[in-house]
Amino acid sequence: MPYAKRRRTEQPGGSPDSSRAEKELPPQDPAERARGICLRLLTGTPRTRKQLADALEKRDIPADVAAEVLSRFEDVGLINDAAFADAWVESRHHGRGLARRALARELRTKGVDSDLIDEAVGQLDSDQEEATARELVARRLRSTRCMERDRRVRRLAGMLARKGYPQGLALRVVKQALEAEGEDTEGLDEESIY
């Protein structure tokens, strides 16, 4: 026996069952809507104040109401851009191997204040950043063994550059890794590679 199709009734409001939906969802005041939006967004992952402000703006929450709700969320600790930036740097550096420059760029796109970015990125020192670059190169070195030397260097240094490492550091780390492998690095410098 075929499945019975569910009949959609056209209500006077225009769309199917629209009057029933309107009865179930009474109109909310903008502050209540803003709080609900922010809480839903913060449930999945931490967000910056700017990200939440943008989301409220997209949903037509008045600017004064959004500012009031966001300030209240900051007061109670639900929004903390400094903690967000610290956690972002920790996670993205250790998880993805991103350098300070790339981390700062990402935090800027998230709307974090530049002073907070400097503080968060300042947690990484040069030695830690270089050690991470060495680990990244060591992981990729094996997959480049069949390539000619200059191509290997470009591939490895390019990978580091995309992760925000300065050219000088990238080339030095790659040269040292190749030398440790017994590769001749005579004549390698930034001009010959880039």
Residues 140 and 169 in one domain: yes
Which of the two residues, 179 and 109, has the higher pLDDT score?
Answer: 109
Segment 92-108 mean pLDDT:
94
Q: Quick one: pLDDT at residue 3?
A: 54
Which pLDDT band holds residue 173 (cuts at 50, 70, 90)? very high
What is the three-state SS of 109-125?
HCCCCHHHHHHHHCCCC
Segment 63-82 mean pLDDT:
95
Residues 161 and 146 in one domain: yes
DSSP 16: B
Segment 111-137 mean pLDDT:
94
Residues 167 and 136 in one domain: yes
In a domain, 22, yes or no: no
- The amino acid at 89: V
Give residue 61's domain range: 29-75
In a domain, 9, yes or no: no
Segment 125-141 mean pLDDT:
92
* Rounded Cα–Cα distance for residues 177 and 169 (Å): 12
* Rounded Cα–Cα distance for residues 71 and 63 (Å): 12
The per-residue pLDDT for range 20-62, each reduced to its tens digit, is 444 454 557 899 999 999 999 999 889 999 999 999 999 999 9
What percent helix, strand, coil does the chain show, rounded to 5?
A: 65, 0, 30
Q: How many domains would you assign to the chain? A: 3
Q: Where is 44: in which H helix or E strand?
A: helix 30-44
* Rounded Cα–Cα distance for residues 120 and 124 (Å): 8
* Rounded Cα–Cα distance for residues 119 and 102 (Å): 15
Residues 132 and 177 in one domain: yes
Q: Quick one: pLDDT at residue 145?
A: 84
Tell me the pTM: 0.75
